[in-house]
Chain A
C-alpha cells in the first residue's frame, strides 16, 4: 500500500488536472454557442445563391461553355484526378473526432481509383498524412481554429483556382457535422456541383423546354465564374463552422468524461487516504498505550524490588 504522503500528492495532482479539464469544458461550450450563431447568419446567403444559380443554369442559352457546367463524366474513373478537402483539428483532446475523419478519408481512398491529392485543414490531419507519405498540397496551410469568412474565401479561392486550371477534376469534402446531439462524419462531393450539371443536362436535352430570355451581362459564363465561387465559399464556410462546432462538442464530451473519471479516482483515493490515516492513528495510539503500559510495568517491577530490599533490611 502506498504511504499517506504519496496518496496526498496524487489527490492534489488529480484535482489540478480536473481544474484544467473543467476549464476546457467551459471554454468549449462558449465557443460552440458562438460558432452556432455564425452559421445561422450565413443561411439566407446560401439559399439565395443556390436559387440564383438554378435560375441561371435553367435559362442558359445554348452553346455556353464553362468549367462549372462540365460533369466530367467522360473522364474514365482510373484517370480522374480527385482532390479531397479534409477538415481536422489542430489539437487532439477531442475524443475520436480526428480519428473518425481520417479513417473516413482513408477508406474512401481505398475505394477510389485514379490520382488524388489531399487538401488538409488542421495540424493533426496534415501531420498524419504527411508522415504516411501521402500527396498533400504543401501550400494549402490553414488552421481550423476560430473559423472566419476570410479563411473560407482563401480556401475556396485555392480550390476554385485548381479546378479552373484543370489540375483537379473532382473535389470532395470530408468534414464533421453536428446532428442532434451527436457528431457525424460527412463525405460530400463539392465540385463539379451535381445540381448544376444535372440541371444543365436536363434543360439541354429537353428540346421543348421553354427558356426565359433575359439579359446576361457581360456573358453567362462570366456570371457563372462569379457566382459559383461564392457558393463554394459559402459551402466551405459552412463546413468550417460545422467542423468547429463538432470539435468543440467532442471536446466537451471528452472533458466531461475526464471530469467524471477524475472525480471517481479522487473518491477512491480519498477513501484509501482516510483508511491509511486511521490505521496510522490506531497504530500510534497502540504504540503510545503499549509504551505507557510497558513503562508502568517496569516502574511497578522496580517498586516491588525496592520494597523487597527494604523488607530484607
Chain B
C-alpha cells in the first residue's frame, strides 16, 4: 500500500443501542443517497446524510469491519474526527437470515395491496431495510 494511505483518523459509530465502533480508522465507506462515499484522513469538514445500506470501516491493521445501517448522519470535524450517528447498526453475523427473509416477503406482500400513501411509504422503507439486511447477510455471513 502506498505511503499516503496510512494516516488514521478517529472514528465513532453509534446508534441508540450503544457504541458500535470507537477507535482509529484508516477509511470509512458509508451509503449515501446516490451511492457510496469513502472518507479518508484529512477530509474537509462536512455533514452527510446516510441512508439504509452497508457501512465499511477499514481498521488500522487493514482489516475491514462491516455493519448494516439505517438512516442517520455523519459528521467530519476539522480535528480529524468522524462521528457517525445512525438509527440502527448491526453486525451482518448477527442478522437472522430467516427473519430477514420473512420481513422481505411481508413487505413485498404489503406493497402489492392497496394502501394509503403513509402505509405505502412505510412498507417501501421496510422493503429497503429487509433487502439490505438480506444482501449483507448472504454476502458477509460465512
Contacts and interface: CB of A to CB of B under 8 A. Distances in A.
A233 interface: yes
B107 to A, nearest CB: 14
User: Which of A165, A218, A226 has the largest count of B CB atoms less than 10 A from its CB?
Assistant: A226
Given A217-B47, A230-B87, 7 more contacts: A48-B85, A152-B16, A153-B87, A215-B46, A215-B47, A223-B48, A226-B72
Interface of A: 41-42, 44-45, 48-49, 52, 55-56, 149, 152-153, 157, 161, 165, 212, 214-218, 222-223, 225-227, 229-230, 233-234, 237
User: Which of B16, B18, B50, B86 has the largest count of A CB atoms less than 10 A from its CB?
Assistant: B16
A227 B45 contact: no
Contacts of B83: 48, 52
B16 to A, nearest CB: 5
Contact of A227 (B12, B46, B73): B73
B111 interface: no
B18 A227 contact: no
Given A227-B72, A233-B16, A49 B85 contact: yes
Contacts of B45: 212, 214-215
Nearest to A152: B16
B16 A227 contact: no
A218 B33 contact: yes
B99 interface: no
B5 interface: no
B40 interface: no
B14 A237 contact: no
Nearest to A40: B18
A165 B122 CA distance: 14
A55 B75 contact: yes
A56 B47 contact: yes
B19 A217 contact: no
Given A214-B47, A217-B32, A230 B72 contact: yes
Given A214-B47, A216-B46, A52 B75 contact: yes
B4 interface: no
Interface in B70-116: 71-73, 75, 83, 85-88
A152 B88 CA distance: 12
Contacts of B44: 214-215
A230 to B, nearest CB: 5
Contact of B19 (A44, A152, A223): A44
B34 interface: yes
Contacts of B71: 226, 229-230
Contact of B34 (A41, A153, A215, A218): A218
Nearest to B17: A149
Contacts of A44: 14, 18-19
Given A214-B44, A223-B48, A227-B72, A45 B14 contact: yes
